Amino acid sequence: MKYVPTIGIECHVQLKTKSKLFAAVDNDARAAKPNDLTSPICFGLPGTLPVLNEQAVALGIKAGIALNAEIAQHMKFDRKHYFYPDLPKGYQITQFDQPIVGEGWVEYAVDGEKVKVGIERAHLEEDAGKSTHPNGETYSLVDLNRAGTPLLEVVSKPDMHSPAQARGYAQELYNLMKFAEVSNVDLYHGNMRFDVNVSIAPVEAGELGTRAEVKNLNSFKAVERATAYEIKRQTKLLERGEDILQETRGWDDSKQKTVSQRSKENAHDYRYFPEPDIPPIKITQAQVDEITNNMPMMPSQVRVRLIDQGVSAAQAEVMIGQRELALIATKVAVVEPDVTQAVVNWLATDVMATVNDDNDFDWSNLQLDAGRLIELAQMVADNKLSSNGASDVVKVMMISNKPPATIADEENLLQISDEGQIEKIVDAVIESNPDAANDVRNGEQKAIGFLVGQVMKQSQGQANPKQAKDLLTKKLGS
Ligand code: MN
């Protein structure tokens, strides 16, 4: 029997606010000792009251705009109850029926084909703390540094139908959150955690099968592989006539398989009710307009601007993969569209090759800017620099803030395009290679390549080879 997989993805995006969602406590726990970044609110002590972080609301709106989504005019917070040691209040403050972001969509390409995935909603909520279970001990440790960190949970519609589409969605969501500057998108530190819902059903069934949810995936590869594994596992069960359980599963990266964790609670088990300590919030159109008008460049705009100038879709994705490069390339496309392709070539090949060779390369030290790269393209157009020479200059420009002309001069890369100067070298080469010169005079075109090579050698590679060839042809009358 043929089955169609249906996939939906929930993603918890950590927002890059200065402080926590409901407490004036630093939000960056990366370098902190356990429980250093806490307050009575993080511990859920009786008598404390949450105060909503305005910056988190602004970033939530911004993320919603990046998702082409409706922004709520009214939103409220709710309590979601569950009992776990890293959740001291016994409930999580989240949004149930009036989330900050409503329906939207995300569009991306998989193997050149466009995929459009609907966004169901996105809501603000606080993160829980972290439990660790020391090996061989009879106790567990709880660190509440992360408790209260603002998250935006983005829920897609079940619009994906293959592991590659699931991976593409995760990757594009990452691009969007990064370009919108709402999150540090540090996957290693769990800034984006994907939960993938997978079900399969016979092609002709017309309804969805029972789904399993694989929780807490933190890489695009894991999203793709866990999805593929689930499709295979569920297909086998159905083919054997067995039932698929609605359950939560985890991904074992070392074994490359999903494992059952628990059967899924139903929504009413959480006893959701409105959070009485935070009043409902009104979001004004003026607030949304203000953020809309100040949105940074989005990946879709990068694609349009670059592809309009002849850049390939694949190269546009390389630029999007490194936001610093995308911003430079799009600026060039606006200021000096004709040299866009040349600049993108340098960024996609010379710059990326240098970075790939140097594991310690720090993007924040990148010295390239659009203006200087346009100057460099102009030098090539003016025959002051060969294309090889330009590649060498780009590599130096990455780490030096000198203008390209200075670098080319210092590195001895300037091309000789002065007619008089090249003519002198050409004359000398003809004189010292009479046989080859005669061959050319007699119409043997092969010999001209040899003479051009001699000119290049004499000029230490700095002569403009095209000019040298033209001069030789003129002088030898061929
Ligand atoms: Mn959640």
CATH code, 462: 1.10.10.410
Instruction: Note whether 385 and 439 are same-domain residues.
Output: no
Contact 167, 223 (CB under 8 A): yes
Q: Is residue 291 part of a domain?
A: no
Q: How many A from CA of 54 to the centre of ligand 1?
A: 20
Q: Please identify, among 285, 306, 332, the residue that sits at the C-terminal boundary of a domain.
A: 285
> What are 282-331's pLDDT values in tens digits?
999 999 999 999 999 999 999 999 999 999 999 999 999 999 999 999 99
Q: How many A from CA of 299 to the centre of ligand 1?
A: 26
Instruction: Note whether 62 and 126 are same-domain residues.
Output: yes
The share of the chain scoring above pLDDT 70, in percent, equals: 99
Cβ-Cβ contacts under 8 Å for 139 (sequence gap 6 or more) = none
Instruction: Note whether 58 and 188 are same-domain residues.
Output: yes
Number of domain units in the chain: 3
> What are 19-74's pLDDT values in tens digits?
999 999 999 888 899 999 999 999 999 999 999 999 999 999 999 999 999 999 99
Domain residues for the domain of 111 are: 3-285
Q: Is residue 458 part of a domain?
A: yes
Q: Please identify, among 233, 255, 285, the residue that sits at the C-terminal boundary of a domain.
A: 285
Q: How many A from CA of 96 to the centre of ligand 1?
A: 10
- pLDDT score of 283: 98
C-alpha closest to that of 413 among 384, 442, 450: 384
Instruction: Note whether 266 and 334 are same-domain residues.
Output: no
For 69, other C-beta atoms within 10 Å of its C-beta total 23
Q: How many A from CA of 188 to the centre of ligand 1?
A: 19
CA atoms of 392 and 408, how far apart (whole Å)? 8
205 pLDDT exceeds 90?
no
- pLDDT score of 443: 85
Q: How many A from CA of 129 to the centre of ligand 1?
A: 13
Instruction: Note whether 42 and 140 are same-domain residues.
Output: yes
Q: How many A from CA of 423 to the centre of ligand 1?
A: 74
Instruction: Note whether 253 and 116 are same-domain residues.
Output: yes
Contact 285, 158 (CB under 8 A): no
Q: How many A from CA of 79 to the centre of ligand 1?
A: 12
Instruction: Note whether 339 and 393 are same-domain residues.
Output: yes
Q: How many A from CA of 163 to the centre of ligand 1?
A: 23
Instruction: Note whether 57 and 147 are same-domain residues.
Output: yes
Q: How many A from CA of 7 to the centre of ligand 1?
A: 18
Q: Is residue 327 part of a domain?
A: yes
- pLDDT score of 478: 59
Instruction: Note whether 367 and 446 are same-domain residues.
Output: no
Q: How many A from CA of 292 to the centre of ligand 1?
A: 26
Q: Is residue 451 part of a domain?
A: yes
Q: How many A from CA of 22 to the centre of ligand 1?
A: 16
Instruction: Note whether 228 and 323 are same-domain residues.
Output: no
For 128, other C-beta atoms within 10 Å of its C-beta total 21
Q: Is residue 168 part of a domain?
A: yes
Q: How many A from CA of 15 to the centre of ligand 1?
A: 13
Q: Please identify, among 255, 285, 315, the residue that sits at the C-terminal boundary of a domain.
A: 285
Instruction: Note whether 274 and 354 are same-domain residues.
Output: no
10 pLDDT exceeds 60?
yes
Instruction: Note whether 362 and 465 are same-domain residues.
Output: no
